[in-house]
A = this chain, B = another copy of it.
Amino acid sequence: MRPLFHPAVEDVQPAAILHALSDPTRAAIFARITREGCVEACSAVSALGDRVIPKSSLSSHFKVLREAGLIRCERHGTEMRNHSRILEVEARFPGLLPAIMNAYARSLNDEPPPS
C-alpha cells in the first residue's frame, strides 16, 4: 500500500472544503479529529450520536476529507490515523474553518435533539 494522496496546501480549493463540510456527518468527523488531534477511523463511528455509519460510507467520508485537504491520513499497522490539517488550511484561508465549526456548534445549540 503506497501512501495516500494528499493535496499540497496551496492546491486546496474552497469549493472542495465547503463541499466536504456541507455534510454534517463529515463536519462532525472533522470536528472530532481536530478537537482530539488524532482519531482512528472506525472509532469515529461510535462517537457520532447513536447513528450507525456503515464502514464503506465512513471510508468514503474520510476520502472526501482527505482529498479536500482537511485531514492527513497515515496507516499504522492495521489502523488508520487521521490528523487535522486545520493549521495549514488556516494559513491559506484565514478564519474559514473556525467560522464553519462555530456555525455548526451554534446551530447545534439552537436545536437540541428532539427528546
**Would you call the interface of chain A mostly helix, strand, loop, or mixed?**
helix
Please give the number of chain A residues whose Cβ is less than 8 angstroms from any Cβ of chain B in the complex.
Answer: 26
Q: Count copies of this chain in the complex.
A: 2
A13 nearest CB neighbor, chain B only: B107
A102 touches B92 (CB 8 A): no
Given the interface pairs A15-B22, A18-B22, the reply to whether A98 lies near B95 with Cβ below 8 Å is yes
A34 to chain B, nearest CB (A): 16
Tell me, yes or no, whether A37 is within 8 Å of chain B by CB: no
Tell me, yes or no, whether A54 is within 8 Å of chain B by CB: no
Q: Which residues in A have some Cβ–Cβ distance to B below 8 Å?
A: 10, 13-15, 17-19, 21-24, 27, 92-96, 98-100, 102-104, 106-107, 110
